[in-house]
């Protein structure tokens, strides 16, 4: 049997849902009512601009008043006002949007940009008042000539009352009789906090307790050419009054196609660590604060920045509290990424020296972006800087040319030597310097990930930490050094050191006589696995099972001395040389370190 029909929706069933569950945070009621007051004011200005209102606009300030004794909050405006018929149309019809109807009616008129600042679209905001009120009253007078004032009253049920009223001037008063369970809102500090959070930049002046609480013309609504550096710095302080440092620089966003977007992004000084900050990018829609959770609309790496983004084209849920993913979000995300990349590239080209001075404070977020966003990587690779230990800064391409001749191995790969602990790796760095090799300083929290990413993207280069192997193997040019030992002597050395090194790899190498007698290194691939294991929660396993290469310098005089000594002396000297190598890699501690110190004293006393 087939049957068709219409779904029945009963107001008495849906009204409680709207009141209780439409908005997750009850403080939103004030944002919604003030936004409605702003719309009423903007509509009046729009009508005046096309000659449909010829009266005196005069004062358009929106006032919020609190009466603790009467337990009421009143939102008053001098906007377009309503007649009794308007109340029936806009208030009694749930989800009927007056803003949408207004825009449709005057879509062919030039409304002097006032229509672009209309906030409401869903027609549900007024009902948020019932989340905190046991009764709501509206007293209103339309702007229309000869109109009569009207009053609407409702106790939160589906019953309402409309009656004639007295009001001397056009506009609307929304009077909330606050319920007992919502008495927290009968506090001046609480109300001021809500207004500061949500209404700080609404385009109509707002007054509470006799004081102005908003800035109707924030800088993101202005033309960049009309602004000075002082304006941007002043606004930064307005956004983040507790910030103790000025931003490094900023980007003014302003686009009207294929979506509308304005805003200002500030680049704060970012240290070499990820520290959660309460000073986040703020998302607005038509100057109404929405959220600080902007991870969908802003690339993740840019959440380290601060500032404001405002767009009427950002898709919001019906309560205007959360973003909804759609094509515009992706477009805006891509646009912001491009804008930031272009800005940094422009700064790099315009003043290389000034950019280098800022690099310490921006490299963390820049590398974060390069690792997580391929489009940003393509731009950033042109200005991302590498730091040599001698203080020189180079782009990737510049650095390749700098070390190409001296640090190209037998497989035609350019070897980038680096250290993340210059003090600990000092002896290895000195070995590199003896061969006129350059060493990069890569101490950042993201540098290990950055190295992996760059290496995958550029097959011409290979990164090697300076302590990952003996220097002649790090930059292997296929040139075998001569050894002063015979094969039998090498075999004997293997036997002497075998019991000391355990499962680690042991090799006899022909190194310069001024290198250490024994060197301990961790292979580059093994160290990277260890770092990855640490970030994935397997660090303890890798730390308990270290794997090293132990290289014996066959050309060192101490090694020759060990070979010539008696068995007991061989064991003591070999142990001392091995422990010395462990000490240079911070691998000696506890009882082993004590034994090394005591042995050192005995050996010196015996000389």
Residue-wise pLDDT for 83-124, tens only, equals 999 888 888 775 444 445 544 555 555 555 544 444 444 346
Instruction: Please tell me which residue, 595 or 441, carries the higher pLDDT value.
Output: 441
Residues 413 and 439 both lie in one domain: yes
How large is the C-alpha radius of gyration of the chain? Answer: 36
Long-range contacts of 455-458 (CB under 8 A, 24+ apart): 457/377, 457/381, 458/396
Checking if the pLDDT of 79 tops 90, the result is yes
Q: Which pLDDT value is given to residue 11?
A: 52
516 and 458 in a common domain: no
CATH of the domain at 234: 3.30.230.80
Domain match, 190 and 268 both: no
* 141 and 261, same domain (yes or no): no
| Residue at 357 is within a domain | no
Q: Are residues 44 and 125 in the same domain?
A: yes
Query: Does residue 480 sit within a domain?
Result: no
In a domain, 481, yes or no: no
CATH number at residue 464: 3.40.50.11260
Tens digits of residue pLDDT in 343-373: 999 999 999 999 999 999 999 989 999 999 9
CA distance 211 to 278: 27
Report the DSSP beta bridge partners of residue 553.
Answer: 509
Residues 30 and 177 grouped into a single domain: yes
Place of tokens 């760095």: 429
Does residue 3 form part of some domain? no
Average pLDDT over the chain, rounded to whole? Answer: 85
Mean pLDDT in residue range 299-304: 86
Largest interatomic CA distance in the chain: 119
| Per-residue pLDDT at 122 | 37
The least confident of 89-93, 251-255, 274-278 is 274-278
Please state, in angstroms and rounded to a whole number, the distance separating the CA atoms of residues 279 and 64: 28
- The whole-number pLDDT of residue 316 equals 54
Instruction: Please give the Cα distance from 84 to 142 (Å, whole number).
Output: 9
Residues 159 and 240 in one domain: no
User: Domain containing 445: what range?
Assistant: 385-474
Answer whether residue 22 is part of any domain: yes
Kindly state whether residue 364 falls inside one of the protein's structural domains: no
How far, in Å, CA of 250 to CA of 595, rounded? 58
In the chain, the number of structural domains is: 4
The answer to whether 572 touches 603, Cβ cutoff 8 Å, is yes
Residues 201 and 224 in one domain: no
- Rounded to whole angstroms, the Cα distance separating 239 from 375 reads 30
Residue 457 shares a structural domain with residue 495: no
């Amino acid at each position: 049997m087939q049957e068709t029909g219409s779904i029945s929706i009963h107001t008495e069933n849906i009204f409680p849902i709207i009141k209780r569950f439409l908005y997750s945070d009850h403080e939103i009621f004030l944002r919604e009512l003030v936004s409605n007051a702003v719309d009423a004011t903007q509509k009046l200005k729009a009508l005046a601009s096309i000659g449909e209102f010829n009266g005196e606009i005069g004062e358009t300030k929106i006032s919020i008043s609190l009466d603790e004794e009467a337990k009421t909050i009143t939102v008053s405006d001098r906007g377009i006002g309503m007649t009794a018929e308007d109340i029936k149309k806009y208030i009694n019809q749930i989800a009927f949007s007056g803003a949408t109807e207004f825009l449709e009616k005057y879509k062919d008129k030039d409304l002097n940009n006032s229509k672009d600042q209309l906030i409401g679209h869903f027609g549900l905001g007024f009902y948020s008042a019932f989340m905190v009120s046991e009764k709501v009253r509206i007293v209103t007078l339309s702007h229309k000539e000869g109109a009569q004032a009207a009053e609407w009253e409702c106790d939160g049920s589906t019953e309402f009352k409309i009656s004639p009223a007295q009001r001397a001037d056009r506009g609307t008063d929304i009077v909330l009789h606050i319920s007992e369970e919502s008495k927290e809102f009968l506090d001046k500090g609480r109300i001021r906090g809500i207004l500061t959070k949500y209404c700080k930049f609404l385009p109509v002046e707002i007054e509470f307790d006799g004081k102005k609480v908003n800035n109707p013309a924030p800088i993101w609504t202005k033309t960049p050419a009309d602004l000075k550096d002082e304006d941007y710095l002043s606004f930064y302080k307005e956004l983040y009054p507790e910030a103790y440092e000025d931003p490094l620089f900023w980007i003014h966003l302003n686009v009207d196609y294929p979506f509308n977007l304005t805003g200002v992004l500030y680049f704060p000084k970012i240290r070499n660590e990820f520290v959660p900050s309460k000073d986040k990018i703020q998302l607005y829609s038509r100057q109404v604060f929405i959220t600080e959770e902007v991870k969908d609309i802003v690339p993740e790496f840019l959440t380290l920045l601060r500032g404001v983004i405002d767009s009427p084209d950002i898709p919001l849920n019906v309560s205007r509290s959360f973003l909804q993913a759609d094509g515009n979000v992706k477009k805006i995300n891509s646009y912001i990424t491009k804008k930031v990349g272009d800005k940094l590239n422009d700064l790099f080209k315009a003043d290389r020296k000034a950019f280098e001075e800022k690099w310490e404070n921006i490299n963390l977020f820049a590398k974060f972006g390069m690792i997580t966003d391929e489009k940003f990587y393509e731009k950033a690779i042109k200005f991302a800087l590498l730091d040599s230990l001698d203080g020189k800064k180079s782009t990737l391409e510049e650095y390749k040319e700098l070390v190409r001749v001296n640090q190209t191995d037998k497989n035609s790969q350019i070897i980038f030597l680096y250290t993340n602990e210059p003090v600990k790796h000092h002896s290895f760095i000195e070995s590199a310097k003896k061969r006129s090799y350059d060493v990069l300083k890569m101490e950042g929290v993201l540098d290990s990930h950055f190295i992996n990413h760059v290496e995958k993207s550029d097959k011409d280069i290979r990164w090697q930490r300076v302590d990952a192997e003996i220097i002649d193997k790090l930059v292997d040019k296929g040139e075998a050094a001569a050894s002063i030992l015979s094969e039998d002597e090498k075999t004997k050395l293997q036997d002497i050191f075998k019991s000391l090194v355990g499962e680690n790899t042991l090799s006899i190498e022909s190194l310069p006589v001024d290198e250490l007698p024994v060197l301990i290194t961790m292979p580059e691939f093994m160290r990277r696995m260890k770092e990855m294991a640490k970030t994935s929660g397997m660090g303890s396993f890798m730390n308990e099972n270290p794997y090293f290469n132990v290289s014996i310098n066959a050309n060192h005089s101490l090694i020759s001395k060990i070979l010539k000594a008696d068995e007991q002396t061989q064991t003591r000297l070999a142990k001392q040389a091995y422990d010395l190598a462990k000490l240079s890699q911070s691998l000696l501690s506890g009882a082993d370190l004590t034994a090394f110190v005591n042995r050192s004293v005995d050996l010196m006393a015996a000389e």
